Every structure is written in C-alpha cells, then in structure tokens.
Amino acid sequence: QVHLVESGGGLVQAGGSLRLSCAASGLIFRINVMGWYRQAPGKQRELVATISSGGSANYADFVKEGRFTISRDNAKNTVYLQMDNLKPEDTAVYYCHAVTQTQRNYWGQGTQVTVSS
C-alpha cells in the first residue's frame, strides 16, 4: 500500500507563496502519476496539477502565468507544489494523490491553505 502525508499548508496573504510537500511511503516504487487536488468548503474536489513518473506535468486551467509548479524528488519520495501569487480563491484543503502502476488510487489527509485578502 501507499501512504501519503501532506505538509506545508498555512495562512498566507494574497500574493504570497507556499510550498506544499507530500511524502510517500510504502510501495512507492509502484507509484506512477502523482498530483494535487483541492477542495474548498461546499465545493467539489478539483484537480490542481499532476506529474507523471517521467516528469510530465499538467496543470488546471486556473493556474495562469506559472503560479503553481509541481515537482518530484525521487530521492526523498516526495512531491511538491510550489504556489506563488496566491489568491483568496485558492483557499482550500489540498490533497496529495497518487496512482500506482496497477491503477490503484491513494489520497493523503489534506493540508489547509488559507489565503487572506
């Protein structure tokens, strides 16, 4: 199994930055795609960004002008989400997500990101 633990959330002013981390443990060698999703209160969970085992990244349309950057560090078994120029609308619980080569889905517990205006 794969266990995901997020960290790095917090309170930041609009225009500020945060870097989220997701540490993976367990059968990490079986992980294929990893990504970040977010869910605001009363809203559906939405995809933020994904990154494949080969390093190919994809971003949601609301990420403009390179505000968010997803990356992986295989040595640390960690995926990151660098968030710059944060907006109040970015306020949400951010969840780490992983898909194994056997197409199993795993989720972290989430980390709260709050952007004040």
Q: Give the neighbor-by-neighbor strand order of the sheet with 78-83.
A: 2-7, 18-26, 78-83, 68-73
pLDDT at 90: 96
**What band does 8 get if pLDDT is binned at 50, 70 and 90?**
very high
Mean pLDDT of the chain, nearest integer: 94
pLDDT at 31 over 90: no
Which amino acid is residue 57, in one-letter code? Answer: A
Backbone angles phi, psi at 47, to 5 degrees: -75, 140
pLDDT at 110 over 90: yes
**Number of neighbouring beta carbons within 10 Å of residue 36:** 26
Burial of 104 (0-12, 13-18, 19+ CB in 10 A): middle
Q: SS in 3 state form for the chain? A: CEEEEEECCEEEECCCCEEEEEEEEECHHHEEEEEEEEECCCCCCEEEEEECCCCCEEECCCCCCCCEEEEEECCCCEEEEEECCCCHHHCEEEEEEEEECCCCEEECCCEEEEEEC
pLDDT at 65 over 80: no
pLDDT at 52 over 80: yes
Radius of gyration for the chain, computed over Cα atoms and rounded to the nearest angstrom:
13
